[in-house]
């Protein structure tokens, strides 16, 4: 457990704040009295986020920035310093995904996912660390996924990026203990956002229905609660919690389920391959005779 705090009066930066969880989190944080810096790549969407918040008396500044670009990260840091004179809470929420089997996709897809989900997160953290160390009850909040608790087939690259976030967060939490900076990880399950529509590619045979998941507003509520309570690691939804539990204590069972699922989906392909091998073996035997 980290430090307990109130978000009221805190200076909070949220990346990926133009849609989905980030948008809901900006709204919830402003309503709770936080001074919000909302960052995303599309300025027009950020302006749509800011209007209702300001109309209700909330404090929000918007900054157009791409967390994968060093110059944009520097601009974001300078804008935060200018607007609020420092930072108390950094929420690394920006992320992208893709579906499809690893063998069927090129290396550029993995690099793009890692660039946003991992390197964008780590380098945004790096540039804000000096500011955070001077903050009031400072915290770094990394929005991960249940896919960072258990690797999911047809989502290997996304899972890898979120496992990387988990490992980075655990190590950083210990490193920053001497500086009084909390590192909090929140892992949502399926969430009702445009995440699936915004994916780089969708090649999975079975698509997950995000609209059956938790609402972005509910996720934002639990993120705020984790920040205020100083919870190091929060997994959302019952099925997300169950998946994490099984992956930790019964990894063999999780492996069996994943393998069985893939084999059932590709049963025809496996049967065709078996027949070809048998035919090739028969031809080889005839040649020997």
Q: What is the pLDDT of residues 105-136, one digit of tens each?
A: 889 999 999 999 999 999 999 999 999 999 99
- Three-state SS at 14: strand
User: Are residues 237 and 258 located together in one domain of the fold?
Assistant: no
Q: Is the dihedral of CA 190, 196, 200, 201 positive or negative?
A: positive
User: Are residues 43 and 148 located together in one domain of the fold?
Assistant: yes
- Catalytic positions are 158, 162
Q: Are 80 and 38 in contact (CB under 8 A)?
A: no
What's residue 209's pLDDT?
A: 46
CB count within 10 Å of CB 242 equals 13
Report whether pLDDT(62) > 80: yes
User: Are residues 239 and 265 located together in one domain of the fold?
Assistant: no
User: Are residues 128 and 23 located together in one domain of the fold?
Assistant: yes
pLDDT one-digit tens code per residue, 208-218:
544 466 899 99
Q: What is the SS3 assignment for 160-226?
A: HHHHHHHHHHHHHHHHCHHHCCEEEEEECCCEECCCCCCCCCECCCCCCCHHHCEEHHHHHHHHHHH
The total domain count for the chain is 2
User: Are residues 178 and 223 located together in one domain of the fold?
Assistant: yes
Report whether pLDDT(190) > 80: no
Report whether pLDDT(36) > 70: yes
Q: Is residue 25 part of a domain?
A: yes
Mean pLDDT of the chain: 87
> 137 vs 149, 183, 243, CA distance in Å?
28, 11, 32
Q: How far apart are the first and last CA of the chain?
A: 72
Q: Residue 80: which pLDDT band, with cuts at 50, 70 and 90?
A: very high
What's the domain range around 271? Answer: 251-289
pTM of the predicted protein model: 0.85
User: Are residues 52 and 139 located together in one domain of the fold?
Assistant: yes
CB count within 10 Å of CB 264 equals 9
What's residue 106's pLDDT?
A: 87
What's residue 1's pLDDT?
A: 82
Q: Is residue 1 part of a domain?
A: no
User: Residue 167 maps to which CATH number?
Assistant: 3.40.50.720
Q: Are 103 and 211 in contact (CB under 8 A)?
A: no
User: Are residues 38 and 92 located together in one domain of the fold?
Assistant: yes
- Three-state SS at 42: coil
User: Are residues 155 and 259 located together in one domain of the fold?
Assistant: no
Across 73-97, average pLDDT? 96
d(CA 154, CA 99): 5
d(CA 78, CA 128): 10
* Tokens coding 136: 């009031």
What's residue 205's pLDDT?
A: 47
Higher pLDDT pick, 236 / 286: 236
d(CA 60, CA 149): 33
> Highest-confidence range of 1-5, 239-243, 246-250, 268-272, by mean pLDDT?
1-5
């Amino acid at each position: 457990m980290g430090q307990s705090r109130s978000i009221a009066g805190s200076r909070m930066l949220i990346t990926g704040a133009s849609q989905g969880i980030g948008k809901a989190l900006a709204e919830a944080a402003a309503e709770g009295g936080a001074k919000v810096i909302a960052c995303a790549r599309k300025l027009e969407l950020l302006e749509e986020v800011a209007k209702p918040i300001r109309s209700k008396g909330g404090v929000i500044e918007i900054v157009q920035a791409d967390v994968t670009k060093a110059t944009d990260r520097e601009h974001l840091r300078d804008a935060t310093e200018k607007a609020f004179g420092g930072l108390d809470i950094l929420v690394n929420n920006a992320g992208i995904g893709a579906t499809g089997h690893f063998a069927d996709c090129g290396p550029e897809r993995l690099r793009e996912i890692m660039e946003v989900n991992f390197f964008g997160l780590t380098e945004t953290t790096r540039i804000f660390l000096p500011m955070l160390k001077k903050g009031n009850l400072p915290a770094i909040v990394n929005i991960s996924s249940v896919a960072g608790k258990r690797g999911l087939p047809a989502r290997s690259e996304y899972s890898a990026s979120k496992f990387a976030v988990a490992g980075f967060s655990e190590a950083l939490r210990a490193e920053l203990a001497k500086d009084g900076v909390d590192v909090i990880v929140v892992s949502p399950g399926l969430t009702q956002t445009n995440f699936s529509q915004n994916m780089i590619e969708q090649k999975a045979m079975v698509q997950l229905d995000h609209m059956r998941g938790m609402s972005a507003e509910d996720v934002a509520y639990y993120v705020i609660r984790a920040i205020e309570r100083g919870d190091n690691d929060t997994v959302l939804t019952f099925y997300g919690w169950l998946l994490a539990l099984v992956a930790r204590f019964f990894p063999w069972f999780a492996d069996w389920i994943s393998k069985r699922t893939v084999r059932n989906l590709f049963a025809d392909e496996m049967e065709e391959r078996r027949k070809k091998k048998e035919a090739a073996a028969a031809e080889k035997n005839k040649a020997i005779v």
